[in-house]
Structure 1
Amino acid sequence: MRQPRHENLRSMVAFAAVTLFYYTVPVRDLESGGAWVLTVIALLVAVALLGWVITHQVGRQLRAGDQTAVRIKSLLLLIYLVVPLFALGYFAIQEHTGDQFAGLVTKTDSLYFTMTTLATVGFGDVHATGQLGRMLVTIQMAFNLVFIGTLASVLTDQIRRRAEKVGQK
């Protein structure tokens, strides 16, 4: 079994790789042939990688049984992948339409908006103004509800198990 240090390193490498991908994938000037091809290739690689990660995580879940740590790590990896996906979606929509979001100018703005939506904070400085933007935000909010519900379930299960162990002693 892997040591926690290796798991933490793997988590940091995954976060760094996704962040690097997020900030380097081209979104502007997709009308030029080269940028369009690179974007399509990057998207195909990302989808293939996401498929592999999901398959790998499902396998880990099945092998782990009731191990809460594996379930939490899977949820963390899911966030590493889904947050940049929504952020890229928001940024691409705004870049190509120009009227779907107020206050969304850079990729960092988009990432910030995605995180404030995920955290259910919603400061209001960046917000959806168009129907397409609002539709994507609604999809993210539905994902957030499922994600937060699953995380709460995992954590509650862990607390219940620890309480049972303490009660048995």
Structure 2
Amino acid sequence: MTPGGGVAPQGRARPSGRRIAWTVVRVVGSVTVLGTLYYLMPLDHSSTATTVTILLVGLAGFTALLAGQVRSILRSVTPGLRAVEALATGIPFFLLLFAGTYVALAALSPGSFGEPLSHTDGLYFTVTVFATVGFGDITAKNETARLVVTVQMLADLVVLGLAVKIIVGAVQRGWQRKAGPDSPEAGDEER
């Protein structure tokens, strides 16, 4: 029974308060660790090769993280909650990856941006690009910086479109798997 007196759809168990609390703890812990590592890394002392390697390995890591999260959602007892956790940890990882790249790029080539970038400035710039706000207070000034920003904008579209679609699809398949092939809900999921 649901709080309103109705019956919850078959296969769509409501997560317990304990499961929700544990998910919140994992998300907060993951984001805290990521943010701490970002601020502790000496990004402003990186070489060009290190910066490019960090970005490429980080993007590959993000892709692997997303694939692992999808598998986890498919097997989860509460796929919706697991999907929220996947997005709440994956997007900060993605944003911090580009923020680190911008900080390193600004240190390698001081003319890359309209001003020097601290870790906080790099994060701020990344979020403004991700949110498509573009206040204009920090701007890419040379071709390399513009190319990296362009890569982020394209990757943002992938994250906002494809990654979210994949995760939502995994939730639907997880619910369908739990509902079983003979339930009316299983047929509804494929429409």
TM-score (norm 1): 0.72
Structure 1 stretch 97-106 or stretch 17-26: which is displaced more? 97-106
Residues 125, 138 of structure 2: 8 Å contact kept:
yes
1:20 aligns with 2:36: yes
Question: Which stretch of structure 1 is more off in the superposition, 133-142 or 96-105?
Answer: 96-105
CA contact (8 A) 1:86 1:140 kept: yes
Q: Is the deviation greater in 86-95 or in 56-65?
A: 56-65
Give a deviation string over 1:80-134, Cα, whole Å, max 9, x none. 2111110010110110111111134211110000011111111010111111111
The range that moved more, 56-65 or 132-141, is 56-65
Q: Which runs of 5+ in 1 are unaligned?
A: 32-38, 159-164
Q: Is it true that 1:105 corresponds to 2:121 in the alignment?
A: no
Q: How many residues were matched structurally?
A: 150
**Residue from 27, 38, 48 that aligns with 1:11:** 27
1:104, 1:110 within 8 Å by CA — same for their partners in 2? Answer: no
**In structure 2, what is the equivalent of residue 123 of structure 1?**
135
Structure with higher RCO (Cα < 8 A, 6+ apart): 2
Q: Relative to structure 1, is the Cα distance of residues 101 and 5 closer, same or farther in structure 2, using a 3 angstrom cutoff?
A: same
Amino acid aligned to 1:142: L
Written as runs of structure 1 = structure 2, the 5 A alignment for 1:18-167 is 18-30=34-46, 53-54=65-66, 56-64=68-76, 67-150=79-162, 153=165, 154=168
Report % sequence identity: 30
Cα separation, partners in 2 of 1:30 and 1:75, compared to 1, 3 Å: closer
